[in-house]
Amino acid sequence: MALATTRFLPVLDCPDPRALAGFYGELLGWRISDDRDEWVELARDDATAMAFQRAPDFVPRMWPGEGVFAHLDFHVPDLDDAERVALDLGATRIDGLSPATSFRVFRDPAGHHFCLCNG
């Protein structure tokens, strides 16, 4: 039996939900749709959103040594342009994890991993 869900919402734990929502809002061009002290949601539209939950003791995992439970992939038309935007907003590029040229690995300002991928 499948769940009768109305929405899928990935949530990132972080020390400062507003700050991390601000980073991803600028990166993706999404708007804040719910802003509470412990919880902030970003939305592109009614069906596409993500949230940030306050976790004062959050410690980012070190990849590849500790592995990563999950990461975000964002498909972009131009990797170089997207990388410039991400770096200008405070992301850090992680080199040497893969010889692939179709994606690049980054850490957001709170330490979560995300990839920018070709198209």
Contact 55, 66 (CB under 8 A): no
Q: Which amino acid is at 30?
A: W
Any residues with CB less than 8 A from the CB of 104 and at least 6 apart, and which? 79, 83, 93, 115, 116
Report the pLDDT value the prediction gives residue 68, as an integer from 0 to 100: 67
CATH for the 8-58 domain, from 3.40.190.10, 3.20.20.80, 3.90.650.10, 3.10.180.10: 3.10.180.10
The shares of helix, strand and coil residues in the chain, as percent rounded to the nearest 5, are 20, 35, 50
Which pTM was predicted? 0.87
- In tens, the pLDDT along 65-76 reads 676 678 899 999
- In tens, the pLDDT along 10-66 reads 999 999 999 999 999 999 999 999 999 899 999 999 889 999 999 999 998 877 667
